[in-house]
Amino acid sequence: MKNFILTIIVLWTISCAPDKAAIDAAPFPILPIDSVDAGKAMTLIQTHCYTCHSPSAPEKKDRIAPPLVAVKAHYLQQDSTRDAFIAAISSFLQHPSSENAVMKGAITRFGLMPAQQYPPQSIALMAAFIYDYQIEEPSWFAAHWQDMNGAVWTQKGKTLPLADQAISDDKLALSYAIKKKRELGKNLMEKIQKQGAEKALQFCNLHALSLTDSIGKLHKTSIRRVSDKPRSPKNQANQEELKVIEKFKANLTNEAEAEGQLSYGNDSVYYYYPIVTNTMCLQCHGSTDQIAKKTMAGIHHLYPADKAIGYKENEVRGIWSIKYKKLK
């Protein structure tokens, strides 16, 4: 199974170091090297980061953020010790700001990343993995780094154990969800960055279902994006999916890490993964005060039966519902 890589938002040119006082005060655990669960960390990175920071994105165009390895490289320049690196990444991920940025050029090019409301333990685990392990990098990155910095780039770190790369039902299903999330998320982020939320809404109306269907057909898998408060009636969750959504809401309320739910029936595998809101989502799914008037008018025009507004950050907006035949 291919590694679908994720991202922590990064910044592409060198700038000032992060606010050390803020880093020292940040409530993030520094995990000992021997306590890092590499498989879990890689899954978190694939799920949370690679939608924007994909290592497969080209160098010159169609990127919405720097690749994750660029974040690693620039933060290592500022904070070469393990503890300082983990603290700096963790602090920026939860509290991104221009003042706290290590790579200000990326903010100029891509905009400031939204704050990520993940459990502190998950943030620390991802940051520790990035420092301790080699992560996938684009084919063009080494040459780019040398051109920009006049130095040869050689990534240090351990390689992911083979046991953590083995294919299982939950990993296979999650890879389908990640692929769909990455494709849709990349397009929506690009529309918002270049044309605004109104154009992102139009893209979603025209292409979201077809993107889901195309990826499902490619893998001979049923992939649905459903909600208890759908924008379109076509995305209404069924009774079983509604129960799953309520479970995810309870877990998120208890500040647990969002994890998929796996079940079996006859010869099929069923997998559900939560869709959680961040600040970007609220441009189309927030309160009426947060949604621009033109965007709201577009919602009423394109989705007269819309229920998908009134959300806040870090709430379950729906789930990925995936069904496929059992592995033999």
- Print the domain residue range for 69: 20-164
Whether 182 is covered by a domain: the verdict is no
Whether 50 is covered by a domain: the verdict is yes
Whether 3 is covered by a domain: the verdict is no
Q: What is the mean pLDDT of the chain?
A: 78
Angstrom distance (rounded) from CA 254 to CA 162: 33
State how many domains the chain has: 2
pLDDT for residue 297: 92
* Same domain? 44 vs 144: yes
Does residue 271 surpass a pLDDT of 50?
A: yes
SS3 string of 237-303?
A: CCHHHHHHHHHHHHHHHCCCCCCCEEEEECCEEEEEEEEECCCCCHHHHCCCCCCCHHHHHHHHHHC
pLDDT for residue 257: 73
Whether 6 is covered by a domain: the verdict is no
* Same domain? 213 vs 261: yes
Which residue has better confidence, 259 or 109? 109
Share of the chain above pLDDT 90, in %: 29
Whether 5 is covered by a domain: the verdict is no
Strand pairing report for 222-226 and 268-276? unpaired
* Same domain? 159 vs 213: no
Tokens 């490289």, residue located: 73
Residue at which a domain ends, from 130, 164, 198: 164
* Same domain? 254 vs 212: yes
Whether 8 is covered by a domain: the verdict is no
Q: What pTM does this model have?
A: 0.67
pLDDT for residue 170: 63
> Tens digits of per-residue pLDDT, 57-104?
788 777 888 999 999 999 998 878 999 999 999 888 888 888 888 998
Which residue has better confidence, 160 or 20? 160
CATH code of the domain covering residue 56: 1.10.760.10
> Tens digits of per-residue pLDDT, 225-261?
899 999 999 999 999 999 999 999 988 865 667 778 8
